[in-house]
Homo-oligomer: A and B are copies of this chain.
């Protein structure tokens, strides 16, 4: 072969190689599913304006996650970003819109998990960090620990240069009035609004995250399922990613998020069957309410809940985003 011809051949091979690298991701499936809490959400109680606000904010979160995934970003980035958008909105019981404790404070919990390595990070009882989901990720990536709580976790947050806010940042009139009402009735109110996201990126890595303000009128440093790995959040590349919302105590007792994965892995169930088994059978029989969003390695989506409604949506590669609120 003449020398020039060899060069041309090498050049062509190189071009084909580069093209294949570039094309590879575009052939891969990716997607994100989110929730903004489950509860007694009825169309008759919702004004068209409020419905529009929720739909727009959920769509914004989905689009932000989708954009990251589409450009080859990680599912961890997509989950974190989608949750940050919901945390920054007063619409949901997470971040800015967190409910009030019995003491009139706001105490936030969050967790995140990487399905590739089973690495995880969680924080509970956070009072001054604007985005608890980002703190959970810092715990996962920049500490030897999985879970941090209270003031200790906030000291770590400062070291990580996270945005620290005054407790007044979390004040919203609606949540404050909810507390007064809950106090009058002397009961804990389960305010729907915990947020969560699950995503799979072009590399097949699944991540899941959850963030919440907990229960209105909660006392005694109560912690729900949101910061508990295996209860409120779970991700495993071999099976699926799950984020839960609802009456947290029941989700802890059931180890609900990981149970969806275990039913798939050990019993060979589909994602939908596994999620239905956990929510419609186990959770319901125990007397609990709530739901999960989940996404498996084959890009199947499950959004299962036993309440009147769940703020939810998904956005899969090559499709349009879908956002829903009520049962049907």
Contacts and interface: CB of A to CB of B under 8 A. Distances in A.
Interface of A: 113, 118-120, 124-125, 143-153, 155-156, 188, 219-224, 228-231, 234, 248-249, 252-255, 258-259, 262-263, 266-267, 286
Nearest to A266: B266
Contacts of A148: 220-223
A147 to B, nearest CB: 4
Report the copy number of this chain in the oligomer. Answer: 2
Nearest to A156: B220
Contacts of A228: 147, 228-230
B221 A152 contact: yes
Identify which of A124, A143, A220 gathers the most chain B CB atoms within 10 Å of its CB.
Answer: A220
Given A230-B255, A252-B230, A262-B262, A149 B150 contact: yes
12 contacts: A113-B253, A125-B221, A147-B252, A148-B220, A148-B223, A149-B222, A155-B219, A156-B220, A228-B228, A229-B231, A230-B230, A258-B258
A116 B231 CA distance: 19
Contacts of A113: 253
A113 to B, nearest CB: 8
A246 to B, nearest CB: 13
A60 to B, nearest CB: 31
Given A149-B125, A262-B262, A118 B223 contact: no
A149 B153 CA distance: 13
Given A146-B249, A150-B221, 11 more contacts: A113-B253, A144-B249, A146-B248, A147-B222, A147-B223, A153-B221, A155-B220, A228-B228, A228-B230, A229-B231, A259-B262
B229 A152 contact: no
Nearest to A267: B266
